[in-house]
Structure 1
């Protein structure tokens, strides 16, 4: 299942700004392009800077919404930019954690935040040295990974006053604000956010149109192509088979047969062929689904591909007439499920909070245990998965797969 990317909102000055305490002029755009954005994107997040969503230089409603909503905020306070300092204060007021402060190593640090952990980098003025940019990028990637995993309080407000609750931004209000913003054809972030909300509301036809718009604006971004294919095949418009055929043409842009080793692309291609098998009973579609899922599982031990590979093996066993081949498929499915459980053992070994992880590994564990006849553990992980999702189509997809698995195991 293609996962929604987390969002990082970057607050900082734009262009060349002078630090009055040192007299040094810094091209802050180089900090963003050479350090911040590459690090954020390497960490798997969508990166958005304030100037990429603002209609004017003034702080507006979209700014406040993103300061509250973003999974991560990176605040560069170099040159003591007043807007950046203000926006950092807003973020600290509304979110207890997931904020990173960075600053060029020279110059003073405001008294109110000089106790915070600050990531320092060296700027040459007009640019940043290649070695320094690479060092900072890798260090920032490590910091982002640790911060998102551990959810340590980094706001001084919530550190000092521990009995207060952060304000809430309702999904409806956020969607309204982003909906207004997405009317601007050049806002790729808002278009993708609106498409994601359409997916959550099971409005797949509209989502497919928006993902196509995003894909047209940024044709080299595989995530948009994957989402476009996913929304198109789930739309079932005008017919399920035509939607699946269209989705296959979309995902083939990423060349799943030859070049890609991306488990997301392989998994989506496998899903399209599996649904074509379900719609047509064409055994070649089932064979191709197994091939794509198997490749995605073998390359990176990707649990989604592994789970669906196991299900396809059960399907193959259910239609196989040769007794020995039938046994082979069943044993291979059982082996794959044990490997998946071993791959996802970190969920138990690390005692990871279910509030800070992806929901789908729990759905996969539930399916694997049910597939092995372990109802007790299956029910445990099913309960966790359902507690983490409020999206109707996600739970429907899970129960649809569970029902089919139960039928296959009886054969």
Structure 2
């Protein structure tokens, strides 16, 4: 299942700025394009800088909303840009954790920030060396993954003053602000945020329209194509079969038949063919679903592809007349589920207080245990999944799959 992407908002100056403490002029756009943005995206997080959402009269309120809402903020305080320092202060006031401060290595650090952990990099002025950019990207990726997982307090306000609660930004207010931007359809970020909002509300027709627009604006971004395909087949518009056919045409842009090893692309292609089989009972569609799910599972050991690969093998067993083939499908499904439990064993060993906020592994664990006949463990992880789920369509998808699996296992 395609996962909701986390969001990083980047605080920094734009273009060339001079550090008055050193007299050195830095092209900060090079820092963003060569270090920050590729590192954030490599960590699987959506990266947005203020100039990418700028719209006349709206930059201030969208900035405040993003400083509160973003899962991660990266603040480059090189040259001590006043706006960047001010925005960092706001972030520290509204979020206890998930803020990274970076700075070019030369120059002094303001007293109020010198107790914070700061990531340093070397800037040549007009550009950043290739080796330095690579070093920084790798180090920053590790830092981002650790910070998002562990949620250690990095705001001095929440570190020094105990028992204070951060302010809350309601989802309704956040969507109102982002909606103001997306209605002008000038911001790729705002369009995608609006599309996510419609997905949350199961309005897949409108979501598909917005994902299509996002895809047309950034045609080389696989994420937008994947979301467009997902929303299209979920829309069932104008009919179930036509929406699946359209979704298949969309996802084929990412070439699932050849070189791709992207588990999201393979999983979505498998999902489309699985739904085609349910709609038509065409065995070839089920065969293709097994192929794509199996490819995603075997190449990347992706648990989502593996779970659906196992389910489709059970479906194949249910319609197979040859007893040897039927047995082969059932044994292969069992082995796949056992391997998935090994892949996700770190979740099985977690304490409740440290559980992941990503809901889908828990849905997979539940279904794997149900498929292996361990109902108690299945119910345990189903409970965790349902506590994390936020959208009706996500619950419906889960229970549809569980119902099919239950009938297959008990049949």
Question: Structure 1-normalised TM-score?
Answer: 0.98
Q: Note the C-alpha offset of 1:349.
A: 3.5
Specify the SS of the correspondent of 1:305.
helix
Q: Deviations over 1:143-189 (max 9, x none)?
A: 11111111110000010112011111111111111110112323000
Specify the SS of the correspondent of 1:60.
helix
Q: Deviations over 1:44-69 (max 9, x none)?
A: 11110011112259851100000000
Greater CA drift, 315-324 or 380-389:
315-324
Distance 1:27 1:271 in 2: 45
Distance 2:352 2:338 in 1: 21
Given that residues 58 and 181 in structure 2 are in contact (C-alpha distance below 8 angstroms), is that contact kept between their aligned partners in structure 1? no
Q: Deviations over 1:345-395 (max 9, x none)?
A: 011345485564311000000000011110110010000000111211001
Query: What pairs up with 1:175-254 in 2 under 5 angstroms?
Result: 175-254=175-254
Given that residues 355 and 388 in structure 1 are in contact (C-alpha distance below 8 angstroms), is that contact kept between their aligned partners in structure 2? no
Asked if 1:296 is matched to 2:320, the reply is no
Unmatched tracts of structure 2, length 5 or more: none
Unmatched tracts of structure 1, length 5 or more: none
Specify the SS of the correspondent of 2:41.
helix
The alignment covers a number of residue pairs equal to 411
Asked if 1:156 is matched to 2:152, the reply is no
Q: Note the C-alpha offset of 1:257.
A: 0.6
Asked if 1:132 is matched to 2:132, the reply is yes
Given that residues 261 and 296 in structure 1 are in contact (C-alpha distance below 8 angstroms), is that contact kept between their aligned partners in structure 2? yes
Distance 2:320 2:381 in 1: 31
Given that residues 8 and 40 in structure 1 are in contact (C-alpha distance below 8 angstroms), is that contact kept between their aligned partners in structure 2? yes
Distance 1:156 1:186 in 2: 36
Q: Deviations over 1:290-349 (max 9, x none)?
A: 011111100011000100011111111111112222122111111111010111001134
Aligned-residue RMSD, C-alpha = 1.3
Q: Deviations over 1:70-113 (max 9, x none)?
A: 01000000111110000000000110000000011111211111
Given that residues 362 and 385 in structure 1 are in contact (C-alpha distance below 8 angstroms), is that contact kept between their aligned partners in structure 2? yes
Name the residue aligned to 2:86. 86
Distance 1:354 1:326 in 2: 41
Specify the SS of the correspondent of 2:327.
helix
Q: Note the C-alpha offset of 1:120.
A: 0.6
Specify the SS of the correspondent of 1:67.
helix
Specify the SS of the correspondent of 2:184.
coil
Specify the SS of the correspondent of 1:101.
strand
Asked if 1:18 is matched to 2:18, the reply is yes
Query: What pairs up with 1:344-383 in 2 under 5 angstroms?
Result: 344-349=344-349, 351=351, 353=353, 356-383=356-383
Given that residues 12 and 75 in structure 1 are in contact (C-alpha distance below 8 angstroms), is that contact kept between their aligned partners in structure 2? yes
